[in-house]
Amino acid sequence: MSLSLPRGPSARIRGVGAPRSQPCRKFGSDRKMKSYGVFLAAITLAMLSCVPLAAATTYYVSSTSGSDSNDGTSAGTPFLTIPAAASRTNPGDIVYVMDGTYGPFTISRSGSSAGYITYQAYPGQHPTVNKTGSAWDAIQLKSATAGPSYIIIDGFNLVGDAQSITVDQAQTAPNYNNTTNGIERKGRPRARAF
């Protein structure tokens, strides 16, 4: 079967294989097409807004009233130690640490470009992390594969053997493990300490 193109302003194109007596339907107008497009876009947007997104979790840690058997998701049921919260974090999560003194800890889970993992002093409080014993660092960022990335650490007092060392001195020290204490970062440089 051959297809011949009709001519003239009122001509209609017939579908391939369609009988000559039944031309293909033509949409009424561009306005009608635009209204269909707007309607479909609105339906699509409504459907996408119903898709549940992974919500960030806020964890709480208290050295005075916490327990690592708590869920840590409210100020009334905090974890006792920072590692208990650190082992549960995912991108976008926040770990609020309340007043108290805490031992050194390691951060091994990464955030993402869409959501940093934040370790932060609870508003108005000033937690202390002590470097103790054989640990070189109060806070260490490392994992089995590479250093964690997309991490924010904010509002902690870090105490160790080299308390007189400034941040600038620590960052430029030729052998930071022998002369400094505080935060050690291994791997990709996507961690920020404030």
| pLDDT tens track, the chain, 194 positions | 555 555 555 545 444 454 555 555 555 556 665 666 666 666 666 655 554 446 899 999 999 999 999 999 999 999 999 999 999 999 999 999 999 999 889 899 999 999 999 999 999 999 999 887 666 678 888 877 777 899 999 999 888 766 566 767 766 766 545 455 555 555 444 444 54
159-186: burial string, b at 16+ Cβ within 10 Å, e else: ebeeeebeeeebeeeeebeeebbbbbbe
Whole-model pTM: value is 0.61
pLDDT for 18-42, tens place per residue?
455 555 555 555 666 566 666 666 6
